[in-house]
């Protein structure tokens, strides 16, 4: 499964001081300010960002506001055909996105609760990837030599793993309770681990490349001549300059993780029933062939995934363009 991160371009180092406006005293703009200005002008990226914020809000507040996603309404379902009796999948005031075939559960509620799980797992997994990837990427890029060789080889090993297969296998072998956790908590932990742990090299390689180019710069020499040692240079000089690519690629990693988590759910190794997740709803739509008798039930979670992933991609793209002077 390809991680849709465009690996070629990346933001360069800190740009030179920016242009001035009329009359006021000339002061250099920091990278952040320049990026923010550029970002503000990019309407589409802002649009994506707004949707991201809305989704996060929905994930946090939504489950408390919507109806109970587990309640059955068999009166809203035609018993012989198991299709919702209302049109468009049973849309009504009480059920704005319709109801699920066969069970009559509210689709809006299930999608909202699904948002929570999707975002949670994706964020956590991305954080894991970022932490591990940044750590090893910086060390490999800065120290070079055999340290770099070992870490680079390790990254190659990781990239040789068929990610989805391992995720499937691992999620399958873990029983209901293990390592002190059980049920959905355990499943979430396993999924975060699998998605985040096996994907850190994608970020690690980029960070390593960035570090390699950054360490030749004068400010590193300057710090060293002032007596700074390895860890200080790594974490006080290099890291702040890496924030930009980290941020960009983290934002672009999140939608990939959302898709990956949806794929795991779709293949049946996701969270336990009756927990609603988007991938699971699509999986139910397939195995029970609802997509032929009530396509709306398939379209809703598909759209949810699409909008979420698209929003993150747009925002991430915009962020990257804002931070990189070359790509216009």
Partner 1 sequence: MKRRGTIATATAAALAALVVTACSSGGTSSTTGTGSSGNNTSANFFNKGLTQVMNPSTHKGGTVTYESHAAPDSFDGGNTYYAWVLNFSRLYEMAMFTYKSCPGQCGLTLVPRLATDMGTASADGKTWTFHIQSGVKYENGSTVTASDVKYAIERTYDRSVMANGPTYYQAILTDPTYPGPYKDKSPNKMGLTAIDVPNATTLVFHLQAAFPDLPYVLAFPSTAPVPPASDTGANYQLHPLATGPYKFQTYQLNKQLTLVPNTAWSASTDPQAKQLASKIVMNLNVNQANVDNLLLTNQAQVDAAGVGVGPAAQAKIETNSTYKANAVNPINGFARFVYIDTKVAPFTNLHCREAVEYAANKTTLQDAWGGPIAGGQIASTVNPPNIIGFSKFDLYNALSQPNGDVSDAKTQLQQCGQPNGFSTTMGYRNDNPQETAAATALQASLQQVGIKLTLKGFAGGTYYTSFCGDPAYVHSHSLGLCAGGWGADWPDGYGFLDELSNGNAIASTGNTNIEELNDSVINNLFAKANTETGAARTAIWAQVDHQIMADAGILPEVYQKSLIYVPTSATNVFVQTYYGMLDYLAIGASSGS
Partner 2 sequence: MIFFIIRRLFMTVFLLLVVSLVTFAIFFLVPRLAGQTAYQLAAQYVGKNPIPSEIKTVETKLGLNAPIWLQYGRYIKGIILGTHYNAGPDVSYCPFPCFGYSFRNQQPVWPQLISDAPVTISLAIGAGVLWLIGGVAIGVLSALRKGSFFDRFSMGMALAGVSLPIFFTGLLALTLFSYKWQIFPNVHFVSFTANPVQWAKNLVLPWIVLAFQYAALYARITRAGMLETMGEDYIRTARAKGLPERRVIVKHGLRSTLTPIVTIFGMDLGLLLGGAILTETVFSMQGLGYFTFLAIQNQDLPEIMGVVLLASFFIIIANLVVDILYTIIDPRVRI
Furthest C-alpha separation in the chain: 81
43, 64, 229, 326: residue in contact with partner 1 (rule CB under 8 A) = 43
| Strand 181-182 relative to strand 177-178, pairing | antiparallel
CA 71 – CA 68 distance, rounded (Å) = 6
What are the tokens at 288?
């029970």
In the region spanning residues 260 to 319, those forming contacts with partner 1, defined by CB under 8 A, are 268, 272-274, 284, 287-296, 299, 302-303, 306, 310, 314, 317-318
Tokens 């952040």, residue located: 32
26, 37, 81, 131: residue in contact with partner 1 (rule CB under 8 A) = 81
How is residue 237 annotated by DSSP? I
Residue 7 Cβ vs partner 2, minimum distance, rounded to whole Å: 6
CA 177 – CA 188 distance, rounded (Å) = 12
How is residue 236 annotated by DSSP? I
Residue 274's contacts (CB-CB under 8 Å, 6 or more residues apart) are: 69, 70
Dihedral sign for Cα atoms in the order 94, 50, 1, 202 = negative
For residue 32, state whether it binds partner 2 (rule: CB under 8 A). Answer: no
CA 161 – CA 281 distance, rounded (Å) = 28
Give which of partner 2, partner 1, none residue 45 binds (C-beta under 5 to 8 Å, depending on kind). Answer: partner 1
For residue 183, state whether it binds partner 2 (rule: CB under 8 A). Answer: no
In the region spanning residues 87 to 116, those forming contacts with partner 1, defined by CB under 8 A, are 87-89, 101-103
CA 230 – CA 124 distance, rounded (Å) = 29
Q: For residues 96 and 108, is the Cβ–Cβ distance under 8 A?
A: yes
66, 152, 247, 267: residue in contact with partner 2 (rule CB under 8 A) = 267
CA 323 – CA 38 distance, rounded (Å) = 8
For residue 165, state whether it binds partner 2 (rule: CB under 8 A). Answer: yes
Give which of partner 1, partner 2, none residue 77 binds (C-beta under 5 to 8 Å, depending on kind). Answer: partner 1
Closest CA to 271 of 126, 130, 116, 163: 116
45, 128, 195, 246: residue in contact with partner 1 (rule CB under 8 A) = 45
Query: Per CB under 8 A, which region of 87-95, 141-149, 213-221, 310-318 contacts partner 2?
Result: 310-318
Residue 65 Cβ vs partner 1, minimum distance, rounded to whole Å: 21
DSSP-H helix ranges across the chain? 31-41, 43-65, 107-143, 145-159, 163-173, 183-198, 200-214, 218-225, 230-232, 239-266, 278-287, 290-293, 295-323
Indicate the Cα dihedral angle 101, 106, 111, 116, nearest 10°.
-130
For residue 237, state whether it binds partner 1 (rule: CB under 8 A). Answer: no
For residue 324, state whether it binds partner 1 (rule: CB under 8 A). Answer: no
Query: Per CB under 8 A, which region of 57-65, 68-76, 144-152, 226-234 contacts partner 1?
Result: 68-76
Residue 285's contacts (CB-CB under 8 Å, 6 or more residues apart) are: 291, 297, 298, 301
Q: Which is nearer to partner 1, 134 or 275 (CB)?
A: 275
At residue 277, the 3 state secondary structure works out as coil
266, 296, 297, 315: residue in contact with partner 2 (rule CB under 8 A) = 266
For residue 4, state whether it binds partner 1 (rule: CB under 8 A). Answer: no
Q: Which residues bind partner 1 (CB under 8 A)?
A: 42-45, 70-72, 74, 77, 79-83, 87-89, 101-103, 172, 176, 183, 268, 272-274, 284, 287-296, 299, 302-303, 306, 310, 314, 317-318, 321, 328
Q: Which residues bind partner 2 (CB under 8 A)?
A: 1-2, 4, 6-9, 153, 156-157, 159-166, 168-170, 172-175, 177-179, 255, 259, 262-263, 266-269, 279, 282, 285-286, 291-292, 295, 298, 302, 305-306, 309-310, 313-314, 317, 326-327
């Amino acid at each position: 499964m390809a991680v849709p991160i465009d690996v070629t371009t990346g933001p360069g180092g800190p740009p030179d001081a920016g242009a001035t406006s009329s009359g006021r005293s000339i002061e250099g703009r920091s990278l952040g300010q320049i990026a923010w200005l550029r970002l503000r002008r990019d309407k589409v990226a802002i649009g994506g960002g707004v949707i991201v914020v809305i989704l996060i809000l929905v994930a946090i507040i939504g489950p408390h506001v919507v109806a109970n996603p587990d309640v059955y309404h068999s009166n809203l379902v035609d018993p012989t055909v198991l299709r919702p009796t209302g049109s468009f999948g049973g849309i009504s005031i009480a059920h704005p996105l319709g109801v699920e075939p066969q069970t009559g559960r509210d689709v809006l509620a299930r999608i909202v609760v699904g948002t929570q799980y999707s975002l949670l797992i994706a964020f956590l997994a991305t954080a894991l990837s970022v932490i591990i990837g940044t750590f090893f990427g910086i060390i490999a890029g800065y120290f070079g030599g055999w340290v770099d060789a070992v870490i680079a080889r390790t990254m190659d090993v990781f990239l040789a793993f068929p990610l989805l297969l391992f995720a499937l296998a691992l999620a399958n072998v873990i029983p209901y309770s293990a390592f002190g956790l059980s049920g959905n908590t355990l499943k979430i932990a396993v999924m975060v681990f699998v998605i985040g742990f096996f994907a850190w090299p994608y970020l690690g390689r980029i960070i390593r490349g960035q570090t390699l180019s950054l360490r030749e710069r004068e400010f590193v020499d300057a710090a060293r001549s002032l007596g700074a040692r390895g860890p200080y240079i790594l974490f006080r000089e290099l890291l702040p300059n890496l924030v930009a690519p980290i941020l960009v690629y983290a934002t672009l990693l999140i939608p990939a993780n959302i898709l990956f988590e949806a794929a795991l759910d779709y293949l049946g190794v996701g969270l336990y029933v009756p927990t609603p997740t988007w991938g699971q709803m699509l999986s139910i739509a397939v195995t029970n062939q609802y997509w032929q008798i009530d396509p709306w039930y398939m379209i809703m979670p598909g759209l949810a995934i699409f909008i979420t992933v698209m929003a993150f991609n747009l925002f991430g793209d915009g962020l990257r363009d804002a931070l990189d002077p070359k790509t216009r």
